[in-house]
Structures are given as structure tokens and as C-alpha cells.
Structure 1
Amino acid sequence: MMRSSICVGGGADWSIRLLFILYFVGFCQSASSFLAWQKATGQQIERARIIGIQARYVYSQAIKSDGLTERDRKLLYLDGLQKCNSIDDELIASIDKNIVKRSYRKSDSDALEKTGLNPFFASFVTLPAVDMKKVVNLACAKHEQQLECGLQYEGEQKTNQRIAELMEDGGNRQMFEHECVDEDYATGVYPCLGRTDKWIGACEKEISEYSILREKVNNKINSVYNSAIQTVKSMNENREQVFTDTMKLINYAEGSKCLSFKKMRVCLLQQLVNVCGIETARALNTSLSVGYLTSERPPRLQMDFQNFSYPVHPFCEKL
């Protein structure tokens, strides 16, 4: 059995090496996590800290090897970070799969997916309150453990940066600012959102138009982008011009989608304010809008927009 705090003295069955690390970093903390959500148990927090410390030690020893390239060092660093990221992965993956698969009210979750909500969240808001609370607690506990592990592996400054990056996604922002902070938030705000028969009908036209356009635009963007990559690979000259022209085309296509999205969003939020209240409307707006472009783009395309500072279409600003 693990103790409630890893600051306890003798009797622990750790290796001498790990004890030395703990002593060296002056590690003496309570079982309270960095985030202080208190969703993870003291034992889980302790385990996460140990994983982070061990990963840091393994990394610090590995980079002492001769002949390592910068890429080698980066891969070793990411290997250590993955130890933190993978905490409780199997449990959460199983929950994600089961919630989407078991969708309690398929018609409601399907209607919400057409607005752009991801399948998990669209199904999650249709859960009975008791199941909704269980899922929130498990998800929050996973994040607590991951970040506690990361705190030991990367330090406080980098961990705060990771949190800031996570909150650039609407779903994560809801979790960090509301779901994990307020025990009754999810069960008080989301059930009305999940009862689409009460509010979504008035926006059927806007949702249908957006859903159809979104699929067409996304397919076009994927086709144009992948074609440009293959073309550029076979060229010796004018590569930059070809890619710039492609990104301009993608920018224009995204603009039409963003305009349709905003039109739909106005209708959805008006309906939610009237039927479910301001907080439910705000929650949907955050979930849909924060990180919209990033979530809509393939990861490689998003990286190109960031790395080469391609402009965002005016219709897509603040999304």
C-alpha cells in the first residue's frame, strides 16, 4: 500500500535511486494536487508524482549518452512526457467509446453533432445526471494526475503553459473553468442542452445549411491541401508560390464555412437563452467556438497556418 504522502520517512520500498531524487529536489508535498480539484485520490496523486519523477530521472540519464542529435533528445523528452499523458488512458478511452456507443438519446446526440459538437460531448450531455457526474469526476481526475506528473517532469512554468494550451479548446476550457471546479455544474447546465426537442427545432434550417456546407468545405480543403503537398514534392521551383496559392484558396473556403457557422450560432444561442438560460447558452458557445478553426483543420494544416503565419479569413476571426 502507498502512503498518503510520499514525504513519509523509512519503510518505503522504493529504490535507493528514487529516494535520492526525492531528497535532491526537496520533494515534500501533501496529497493535494497542483490543480486542487480533489477529484483524484491522494494515492493517485502520489502515484502520478512518482511517475513524473521517474520519467525525469530516466530522461536526464538518457541524454548523457554520446552522439545524440537534437532530434534524439526531443524524442527522449517526448517519451518521458508520454508517461504522464498516458495515465488512465485505457479507462478514459473505454468511457469515451461506451458513451458514444450507448448514446442514451440518439436523436438528441445526432442533432447536436450536426451543429459541430464532437460525438463524445454530444452524447455526454444526454446522460442521466448520476452518470454525467461519474464521467466528469473520472475525466477531471485524469487531468489532475497528468498535470501533477507533468509538474514533476517539466516544472511549474511549463505545466502552466500546458494548461493555457489546453484551454485553447472549448471543451477543455469548460472542464478547467467549470466542470471540475463546481461539483454540480454539469448536472445543472447540460441536461437542458441535451433535450434538443425543447429548443433546437427553430434552428433546423440554419443547422442543415451549415452541416451540408461544412462537409463540402472540409472535403474540398482536404483534397486541395493533400494535392498541393504531392505537387510540391515533385517540384524543384515555385514551391512556395504553389503552396501560398493553395492556402489562399483554403482561407477563402474557411471563410464561407465560418460565416455559415456564425449564422447558425446566433440562432442556437438565442434559443438556449430563452429556453435553458444564459449559462447553458454560454457553455455551448464556448464548446463550439473556442478553438473552432484548430479543431476543424487537419493537424498538419493547422501547423502550416501557425508556422508560416498565414492570415485568418475575416469571417473566422475570434474562432
Structure 2
Amino acid sequence: MATDDGFAARSSAWTARVEAALQRALPAAQSEPQRLHAAMRHAVLAGGKRMRPLLVYATGALFDADDALLDAPAAAVELIHAYSLVHDDLPAMDDDDLRRGQPTVHIAFDEATAILAGDALQTRAFEVLAQAGAPAALRVEWLAALAAASGASGMCGGQALDIDATGASQALEALQRMHALKTGALIRAAVRMGAMAGNADTDTLSRLDGFASALGLAFQVRDDILDVEASSEQLGKTAGKDAAQAKSTYPALLGMAGAKAKLDELARAMQAALVPFGPRADALKALGELAINRSH
């Protein structure tokens, strides 16, 4: 899988679209309650890879879906991701003071405001989908997909398993299941929402689920490797947190060489899942490569 100038241009255009959509979705910082609104904007607009919105656009492109139709699910999935980071950084969770190279929301504001900002971002995501300029049936499909990925059967459930496992040794299968929920569910939802916009059939959705599942796990394996090998400055968040909290990770269970071999295996699985789509899947292939080779 290789990135090229064509993908770079498309990625830049899609990133600009989702940034504009997020600006529209967020309340003005000067409106009341100002502190809450400022915290929401702090959480969302401080940068980030925008991997999940890019997956919405890249999957939609497989089916020639209009980018304008994809703006709402792209923004919604990023709002959910941002809310999850705000809550993940709280003292009761991972207790971190650095995110995307700046103070986390509870440090920049306060803990109560951070909790409310996360709550407001989550509910705003579903408002964005409900109000999207799309057929009602499609909006319902999007809402159901994002809700399932965000709740107890998805991201929140994975976070709960992560908390339960802190300080304890996990088997590899348990670790993979946890990350399939905590990280993978939202990535699968991003891909699914893009495909739904293109009226993908059941078999196509299943194949794309295979790609997204491999990508979600690869994203987490790479995260675990970077937590060991990269600095806090490179990551934009505190490095070495996993070891400090005695968490099971892929390098801890497989060794660094084994974790990197796992990453290669997942790269092959992503490629295999996308073969039937041919060159139309080049943008998805490029995003898979970026997830595997990223330095932060």
C-alpha cells in the first residue's frame, strides 16, 4: 500500500471539509454557557489525525457518494471520538494531563467542565446525524451504527474492560477483544457509515467490516508500540503510560518483535479485504498504511 500525490490532495480536501463541518457543529465560544462551549471547542479543534472522518469519506468514495452527504457522519464520528478522549483523560480514568500536545480539558478548565463537555459532544454527534440533509432511512441507519459503536457493546464496553484489566495480566485473546470494542468499534462504524451512504449491500458491508476490524486492531498495536518507542513530544500525549499503569499491551505480551510481526499480519489482512474493490479502494489502502506507519 502506498500513498501518492492523488491521495494527499483528496485527504487534504476531506480534512478541510470535516474541519468546516465541526466548526458548524460546535457552539460559538462566546455563547452561553461560555466555559462549557470553550471546553468543547478545545477538545475538538486542537488538531488530531481525523482518521475516523477520513475513513467515512474514503469508504463513501468507493461508491461515488457525494462528499457533502458524508459531512454529517464524518463530523459525528469525530465528535464521539473527541468526547471519548475527554473522558479517557479524566483522573478517574487514565488521568492524563496532555492530549494533542496541549493540556487536557480537565486541566485547561476543570474536572466538572470536562465531564459536561464530553457529555455535550456525545449528544451533539447524534443531533448532527438526526439533522443531516439525508434521507430519513439513511439517517436512522447512521444513528443506529454510531450508537451501537459508542455504547456498552462498543467503545464504552471496551473502556470498562480496560479499567477492569488495569494492573492485571491479560491473555492475548482478551486484549484483542477489549481493543476490538474500545478502539475498533468506532473505526468500524466510520467505515460502515461511509458505505451506507453508498447503498452498500450486506456482502460488501461484511467485507468492509473485515478491513475495518483489522485496521482498528492495527491502530491499537501501533499505539502500544509508540507508547514504548516514542517521546511525549512526538506523541502529543504522555508516553510510557501503559507500563506505568501495568497494563497488558501487545509489546508486553508478544515482545516488540512479536508486536511488529502482528502489525505486518494485520496489514496483509487489510490488503486482502480490499482486493475485490481494485483501484477504487486506493484511499482506504492509503489510510491503512498511515495507521501502520504513523509516528504519533
* TM-score of the superposed pair, with normalisation by structure 1: 0.27
